Amino acid sequence: MRFSGSRAVVLGGNSGIGLACAQALAREGARVRLTGRDPVTVEAAAAGIAGAQGHSVDIADLAAMEAFYADVAASEGGIDVLVVNAGVGGFAPVDQLEPDYWDAVHAINLRGCVFAMQKAGRLMGKGGAIVVTGSIGGHAFIPGNLAYGAAKAGLALAMRQFAGEYVSRGIRVNMVSPGPVETPLLHRNPGMSEADVAALREQMIAAVPMQRMGRPEEVAAAVLFLASAEASFITAANLMVDGGTLDIG
């Protein structure tokens, strides 16, 4: 019960890693609010977590996020734990990259996440913790990964900036960077058929020294560690949860 009585917000908590984080935080005593763009999955996710509240909010819509945080401030009085997990995927070779696609990915994966952290920071006090979901894709060459990888690389830098500027306020900011993980995001790559996804999945497994995909619960365990008092002397860290892919593979 590391989070007993804590006020937790999980952005992108309606599926995959975010849902696993929301479930784990609630199991350890947190009052959880989760967000996502799809009202159906948001409602289903919240219904399956005791005491959780779900909000259909697009992290790229800054006005909607402002309204969401105002509601959190009015009802909860602040935030103790923020998990920034909202994101979209997709692959496009550099010679096929279109500005609209670039902008759509960065509006969520970088711009939206940065301002979500900024707005939440105003509601956090000493002892607060922010954990951001990055990706090993922000650190390595992966064919077709320029838009996604650049956004995650930018988010890693943003995490360090927030950590540096929030440390005097007693707020810790860290990141987990997963490798290949079994999440619905894998099946939401624009232009990819299920056969393409299956082939991509096999390529991912082949690149992982542990020879398997990760599970959302494994990433959530790392997130909860960084958000907990057990990591009280850790800030600006980027923890790879990738089965050794980046450093061994």
Q: Which of 69, 101, 148, 166 is catalytic?
A: 148
Element (H, E) at 238: strand 238-241
Pairing of strands 53-56, 238-241: unpaired
Specify whether 148 is catalytic: yes
CA-CA distance, 239 to 175, in Å (whole number)?
A: 6
CA-CA distance, 44 to 204, in Å (whole number)?
A: 29
Of the candidates 147, 150, 62, 142, the residue with the CA atom closest to the CA atom of residue 99? 147
The residues with which 214 forms a beta bridge, in sequence order, are 181
Q: Which residues are catalytic?
A: 148
